Amino acid sequence: MIRIFLEMKAQYIKTEMEYSANFWMMLFSGVLTRLVSMAAPFVIYSNLPDIAGWKRDEIYLILSFLFIAEGLCSVLFEGIWQMPAMVFDGKFDCILSRPVSPLFQVISYGMGLQGISVFLVGAVSLPVFLKRLDLFHPLGVVLSLFFVLCGTLLCMSIYLMGNCVVFWFDAGGRTTIPYTVSQVGQYARYPLEIYPNIMRFLLLFLVPYGFICVVPVEILRGSAAWTECFGVAGVSAVFFLVARAVFYRGIRHYESVGM
Amino acid sequence: MSREIKTGQVAARCVRPAAFLTQYLAEMVGALLIQGAVNLFVVLVGFLCFGRYMTIPSASALPAFALCLILAVMLRLMMIDVFSLLCFFTTGYLGISWTRAALFDFFSGAMIPVALFPGWLKAIACCTPFPYMLQAPVAVLLGQDTLVGLPAVYGLQTVWILIFLGLHGLIYGLARRNLTIAGG
């Protein structure tokens, strides 16, 4: 299955590279959007000494975890974002008629080119800021890889749940709900202490972007106990199982619209 | 427009007996009026709920603001138009759209007010068209520093509109010279 998955991704990237202008534009936009995201803390910290006791490099570390998770999700699981269009134009029928897991087919469909550059920005900035914060030691690296793994799974689960809405509320092949959820999650680019309790709850348990990037950095900098690693893994696993259940529940609700 | 270019539906726009830019502007202004009404409603609700935390603009600033806003909207429309035309050459619109959004969000002051930028970054921002689309009208309305002075704001908005008009003519001319419509 993994070989088929990688083979499909290889074919998608070959297809995309045929349109070279668009290919490079997508990579450029991925880098630019993330550099702009990193410029925001730069401006804030040129006016403020710190944010709730957090240093600028720690904010960049939060962003690095977020970029890697988002980038990997975009490269590996872009098909999730194609679900609304598949349901609207009837392509989802093909998914259901093949003797392969529908979830596997959806996640292996397509490839987000900008994800490559988003991932690269995160992959470059993560070791840089780990080093600047004196966290570039074996334990720090192992924990970081663990958080990347959990964060990517969690990010995929959030996207999947958001896009499953299309099974119940079709909006002409496009739905703004998963995009809105993703935008809400962007508030987790900053320490959760600065938000009111309701917002913290939202970012930890409803749209759990906090577990993708903020909680990992809290553990690494020592402001949260290392046992919270189990919380990160647990939330990731639970959200994946719930997302999977919602997806299959949605399929039961799916009605073909014809080709 | 970028989606129309990608799907080939732009062919219909090219053969209509009206200028390409006129069609685009008419369509965008129509959409903006509806969007503007919705946004105004949201702002009014915001004022009703959180008015005590907000600054009420002075009525004397309204005439200067109205002109600045009209120029800002025209400038924004022209900028979107020029970026969208680039889709004729890339066959995709997401990369262009995200690039435009990233530049606009940061340099316009939508993300963080330009006034908070360090000096060198503020100078760079003032050399781009983006602050004159958002930061400048807001500063005029609230009677704050417009960074370059009100007459210069009007002048720069007009100059940037003319630059984008020129770019529109150039890019559209290049695109029409060797246009291949895919799909449709």
- Going by C-alpha positions, the residue among B81, B71, B56 that lies closest to residue B5 is B81
Judge contact between B1 and B24, C-beta under 8 A. Answer: yes
Cross-chain Cβ contact A28/B92 below 8 Å: no
- Mean pLDDT of the A151-171 span: 89
Compute the nearest-CA separation of A242 from chain B (Å): 30
- Going by C-alpha positions, the residue among A62, A53, A49 that lies closest to residue A219 is A62
| Confidence grade of residue B182 (pLDDT, cut at 50, 70, 90) | low
% of chain B with per-residue pLDDT over 90 = 45
| Confidence grade of residue A124 (pLDDT, cut at 50, 70, 90) | very high
CA distances from B28 to A6, B33, B76, B108, B162 (A): 42, 9, 11, 20, 18
CA dihedral angle for residue A189, residue A195, residue A198, residue A204, rounded to 10 degrees:
30
| Confidence grade of residue A62 (pLDDT, cut at 50, 70, 90) | very high
Closest residue of chain A to B102, computed from CA coordinates: A33
Judge contact between B144 and B115, C-beta under 8 A. Answer: yes
B1 pLDDT more than 80: no
Higher pLDDT, B6 or A186: A186
Paired tokens of B151: 């007459």
Flag whether the ipTM exceeds 0.95: no
Domain limits, chain A: 2-253
% of chain A with per-residue pLDDT over 90 = 52
DSSP H or E run through A143: helix A138-163
Residues sharing a CB contact under 8 Å with residue B14, sequence separation 6 or more, in sequence order: B20, B176, B179
| Confidence grade of residue B106 (pLDDT, cut at 50, 70, 90) | very high
How far apart are alpha carbons B75 and B163 in whole angstroms?
10
Judge contact between A229 and A143, C-beta under 8 A. Answer: yes
- Mean pLDDT of the A142-154 span: 95
- Mean pLDDT of the A41-68 span: 91
Paired tokens of A6: 């990688």
Compute the nearest-CA separation of A78 from chain B (Å): 14
Cross-chain Cβ contact B92/A29 below 8 Å: no
Cβ neighbours of A36 in B, within 8 Å: 102-103, 105-106, 111
For B98, which of A19, A33, A43 is closest by C-beta distance?
A33
Residue A159 carries which side chain, given as an amino acid letter? Y
For B111, which of A29, A40, A47 is closest by C-beta distance?
A40
For A25, which of B90, B117, B121 is closest by C-beta distance?
B90
